[in-house]
Structure formats: structure tokens, C-alpha cells
Amino acid sequence: MENKRMIKKNLLLGLSGLLLASCNFGGNPSTLVGDYAQKRWDALISGNLQKAYSYYSDSYKKTVPYEHFPHKIKGVGLWSKAKVIQVTCDKNEKSCEAEVEVTVAMRMRGLAKPIETSNTIKETWLKNGSFSDWRYASK
């Protein structure tokens, strides 16, 4: 009987360890933010606005409900690619700045191929509390 309890206890401890390991606690903030920023841009470029919206901060979502979000986003269909170049976090790791190279492709009359131009933009990502995910802070 005692062996069964020990096995159950060890099994539960092992499972809870796996759950904690799968969470983002202790992950490198710049790596996490870079991954989130890339995923947000990939969603925007593919037109998956619901997924892109999930990366925005709670304060943004309170002021811009999802029903209004598609009307606020300008550039869907023009953006052809985006790549996170660098992420820099502050000392207390509650705020990070992601530099993203965004490419726009525009069709011009008389030209067979679209004209592409790129620009590097800076995004602010915030973390609220120890157990919070990183969120994009829209300006």
C-alpha cells in the first residue's frame, strides 16, 4: 500500500515538473519576445487577424475590441514579409524592444513584378507580473 502511494506521489511530482518546464518561466526574455513578435507578424501577413490580436496587451484589447481591430490594421495584403532582427530588454526584464524589418510589396502599373521596399520598425513588448506572457504594446 505504501509503495502505491510513493509511486503516485512521484508520478504527480514528475508531471508537475514537466508542466512547469513547458511554461515560459525562466525563459530568455529576448528569445521569447523575438518569437512572439515573429509569430504576430506572420499572422498579420497571412491575414490571420484573430491570432495577431492575441499578442496585443490587455489594455489595448480593452480599448479596441476584436470587432474593431480589422479596421485599425492597415497593411494587410501589402506586407510581404517581416523578420525580427534584434530584441533588447531592460534590466528588470519587464519591457523589451523588438526591431523588425518589414517588407511591403506594391504593384505598379506597367511593371510585371511588384516593387518591394523594407523598413525597420521598433515595437515595445511588455510583461505584467511574474506569470504573465509577453504582450505587444501598440501605440
Kind and range of the H or E run holding 8: helix 2-22
Q: Looking at the predicted structure, is the pLDDT value of residue 61 above 90?
A: yes
* Domain enclosing residue 76, as ranges: 28-136
CA distance linking residue 115 with residue 113, whole number of Å: 6
Q: Is residue 4 part of a domain?
A: no
58: domain CATH number? 3.10.450.50
Q: What is the mean pLDDT of residues 125-130?
A: 82
Counting the structural domains of the chain, the total is: 1
- Report which residue type is found at 6: M
Q: Are 82 and 102 in contact (CB under 8 A)?
A: yes
Confidence at 5, pLDDT banded by 50, 70, 90: low
Classify 93 as helix, strand or coil. coil
Q: Looking at the predicted structure, is the pLDDT value of residue 15 above 70?
A: no
CA distance linking residue 65 with residue 107, whole number of Å: 32
Q: Is residue 96 part of a domain?
A: yes
Q: Is residue 11 part of a domain?
A: no
Assessment of whether the complete model's pTM goes beyond 0.85: no
Q: Is residue 3 part of a domain?
A: no
Confidence at 114, pLDDT banded by 50, 70, 90: confident
Cα 99 to its chain centre, rounded Å, is 13
User: What's residue 77's pLDDT?
Assistant: 83
Q: Is residue 132 part of a domain?
A: yes
